[in-house]
Amino acid sequence: MPFYASKANRTAMRMLEKVPIFSGLSERHRESLSRVAVEKKFAPDAQIVEQGEKGVGFFLLTEGSAAVRRNGRQLKELGPGDFFGEMALFEDSPRNAGVFALEPTQCLVFSRWDFWAFAMDKPTVLRGIVEELARRLGATDQALTD
């Protein structure tokens, strides 16, 4: 880890290392991503993302757990290493679900602009996001037809 990395950077870098879509990045790339991360904490039941709002943040859950709910119906429970908010990264569309903390929960948050500036030339990161996005759209489709 670079000697000049701040304590907050170091924590973020260690977290990024554990997230599958970022774990293959070089230390230098994880360090540059950690510099634009903002750490946020949420109390149990707090709404992290609101369904229908215009979102500009991409979230990485680093501690705790959260529920993804669409129209009051739970689609998925997320835990450490999971990300959310990626759908709003792709277009100016409203959040397609709400995300709620289930316990004390911590996330690293990236603005859309910072995230794209970083990920634009990182095919493994983009592929990881697109694969998960396809899975989630399939799961949401399935939940809507059940």
- Comparing CB distances to ligand CMP, the nearer of 25 and 100 is 100
- Comparing CB distances to ligand CMP, the nearer of 32 and 65 is 65
What is each CA distance from 38 to 73, 113, 139, 140, in whole angstroms?
29, 14, 29, 29
The distance of closest approach from Cβ of residue 76 to ligand CMP in the complex, given in angstroms and rounded to an integer, is: 4
The distance of closest approach from Cβ of residue 127 to ligand CMP in the complex, given in angstroms and rounded to an integer, is: 16
Could you tell me the two tokens for 63? 């501690």
Residue 93 is classified by DSSP as P
- Comparing CB distances to ligand CMP, the nearer of 6 and 74 is 74
| Dihedral angle computed from the Cα positions of residues 123, 128, 133 and 135, in that order, rounded to the nearest 10 degrees | 140
- Comparing CB distances to ligand CMP, the nearer of 30 and 136 is 136
Strands 105-111 and 57-63: antiparallel
Task: List interacting residues with ligand CMP (CB under 6 A).
Answer: 49, 55, 68, 75-76, 84-88, 95-97, 99, 136, 139-140
Report the greatest alpha carbon distance in the chain: 53
